Amino acid sequence: MSGLDDIIQERISKKEKLMNNNINPYPELVDKIDDLENVLDKFEEGENVKIAGRIMSIRGHGALIFFHVKNDNFKIQVLLKKDKLEDKFDLFKETIDIGDFVYIQGNCFLTKTNEKTIEADEWKIISKSIRPIPSEFYGLEDVEEKYRKRYLDILINSETKRVFDLRWKIIYQIREFLNTEKFVEVETPVLQAVYGGTLAKPFLTHLNDLDMDVYLRIAPEMFLKRVLVSGYPKIFEIAKCFRNESIDREHNPEFTLLELYQAFANKEDLMSLMENLFKILVEKNNLQKYIDISVPFERLSIIDFVKEKSGLDYFENTLDEFTNYLKSNKIEVEKGMSKAKMFDAIFKKFRNEIKGPLFVVDHPIDLSPLAKTKDSDERIASRFQLLVDGLELCNGWSELNDPAEQAKRFREQEENKKAGDKEAHPYDKDFIEALEYGMPMAAGIGIGIDRLITVLAEAQTLRDTIIFPFMKNIN
């Protein structure tokens, strides 16, 4: 057997020894425990407390055993004395390992080095660990292993734990902000007969009971707009979305998207809202030292930016000229790729140079089939993106609510799909019908939660902020 197999077998033997002593290694219930944070904050010598947690280290000194118990972000030292615990001292020594969960009752005191410690009157096993956890010092050295066994990475790596603590806090703060702004949180379908809301490749599945193909949503937009039609003026959803696309620094097939919509508003209103939200998140989490939150954010014309970097003007240069540029710069040219998609590919090639935070504006309307055009130029979408460190954090626009114009754009997208564009938007007849009942003027925005956390946590990649990123099956 390997070394690991030997360790596992030894721990199984210890589990059996506990059971032979009529001790359940996985009990259903122990006494009510004190909050460990309160124990540490209100530490008084002689106070009797009850705590529980995972053992992270053990060291023995003859008739004394010291170990550290961890619960969430808090860790405390426990002392066992043989003369007090007698046979239970020996049983602990013979059966308990690092990684086990234990319950402790005892008195608080300070050691000579002023370490807060509990002298145990009683201990109980709560959960016997069969596999050894990696050392906190060495951690998980293999990156793939960190993602596959995130539970261990969080357990032993304080930096990983920090990122996820920040993630949950920021999601809470976003909800708090939107509640203050009187937005209502709603829910829309994950399984959709017609996908939509952006240009992306969907995942296809099959609903057996109705014998029909359905899609995992790529965005909640099309149903959220139906909610606008129903009369709710301010709505949002924090939605799990799925796109059958690349896995890289800024993409994961399953991701979290916040979408919000505000009636009787336009893109300028939501740009201000986004500025305020981003500023609040940075300030509440003390991130000003490396993120400039001066408002209003600078604005950059995407058409001017692409022209500066490539020499190509979207409205002046031809499809062939865009095609030649992509080929000569080793950018993939997909079958049926429109000039708008080529333009977007060039932008993505250079956007990492944008530090931000700034708003990218003035997108060609061909890239935005769900957005209104600018009043001053019908070739330009009333749209914006927020970029920080080259990452697109949000995408928003003044929403198209003219059913005839929306139907026309859907038909154009259908033609693109027939030409080979796998990301073209499908025709959604039911959505057009909803618009025909009347949707108020409105603006909407989608915020990539994973990308937002990547920026705010100073993470290297999106996968560092998703607790269980998608991994190839190795079984």
Q: What is the pLDDT of residue 475?
A: 66
Extended beta strands in 351-460, E state: 358-361, 373-374, 377-381, 383-388, 391-398, 442-448
The CATH number fitting domain 156-297+356-464, selected from 3.30.930.10, 3.40.640.10, 3.40.50.300, 1.10.3720.10: 3.30.930.10
The tokens describing 376, both together, are 């001053």
Q: What is the pLDDT of residue 226?
A: 97
Backbone angles phi, psi at 215, to 5 degrees: -120, 145
pLDDT digits (tens, 9 = 90+) for 81-102: 999 999 999 999 999 999 999 9
pLDDT digits (tens, 9 = 90+) for 321-340: 999 999 999 999 888 888 99
Q: What is the pLDDT of residue 471?
A: 86
Do the beta carbons of residue 364 and residue 314 sit within 8 Å?
yes
Extended beta strands in 371-440, E state: 373-374, 377-381, 383-388, 391-398
**pLDDT over 60 at 128, yes or no:** yes
Q: What's the one-letter identity of residue 84?
A: K
3-class state of residue 394 by DSSP: strand
**pLDDT over 60 at 194, yes or no:** yes
The tokens describing 459, both together, are 């993470």
Q: 56 vs 417, which has greater pLDDT?
A: 56
Extended beta strands in 82-211, E state: 101-110, 116-127, 184-185, 191-192, 203-207
Instruction: Name the residue ranges covered by the structural domains of the chain.
Output: 3-127, 156-297+356-464
Q: What is the pLDDT of residue 11?
A: 96
Distances in Å between the alpha carbon of 157 and those of 112, 135, 143, 407, 461?
29, 10, 13, 52, 17
Q: HSE on the CB side for 168, CA within 13 Å?
A: 6
- The structure tokens 């090639």 sit at 349
**pLDDT over 80 at 474, yes or no:** no
pLDDT confidence band for 139 (50 / 70 / 90): low
234-242 and 184-185 as β-strands: parallel, antiparallel, unpaired? parallel
Residue percentage of the chain with pLDDT more than 90: 75
For residues 123-141, give the mean pLDDT.
83
- Out of 7-21, 34-48, 252-266, 339-353, least confident range: 34-48
* DSSP code of residue 33: P
pLDDT digits (tens, 9 = 90+) for 8-17: 999 999 999 9
Q: What is the pLDDT of residue 1?
A: 52
Partnered with residue 213 across adjacent β-strands are 206
Closest CA to 341 of 310, 312, 315, 319: 319
Do the beta carbons of residue 171 and residue 165 sit within 8 Å?
no
For residues 452-472, give the mean pLDDT.
92
**pLDDT over 70 at 430, yes or no:** yes
Do the beta carbons of residue 390 and residue 352 sit within 8 Å?
yes
Average pLDDT, the chain: 92
Number of other CB atoms surrounding residue 320 within 10 Å = 9
Q: 232 vs 38, which has greater pLDDT?
A: 232
- Out of 42-51, 167-176, 273-282, least confident range: 42-51
CA–CA separation, 313 and 301 (whole Å): 12
Do the beta carbons of residue 248 and residue 364 sit within 8 Å?
no
- pTM value is 0.90
**pLDDT over 80 at 45, yes or no:** no
3-class state of residue 336 by DSSP: coil
Q: What is the pLDDT of residue 138?
A: 53
Do the beta carbons of residue 437 and residue 229 sit within 8 Å?
yes
**pLDDT over 60 at 294, yes or no:** yes
3-class state of residue 6 by DSSP: helix
**pLDDT over 60 at 415, yes or no:** yes
**pLDDT over 80 at 136, yes or no:** no
CA–CA separation, 219 and 195 (whole Å): 8
The tokens describing 120, both together, are 């145990």
Q: What is the CATH number of domain 3-127?
A: 2.40.50.140
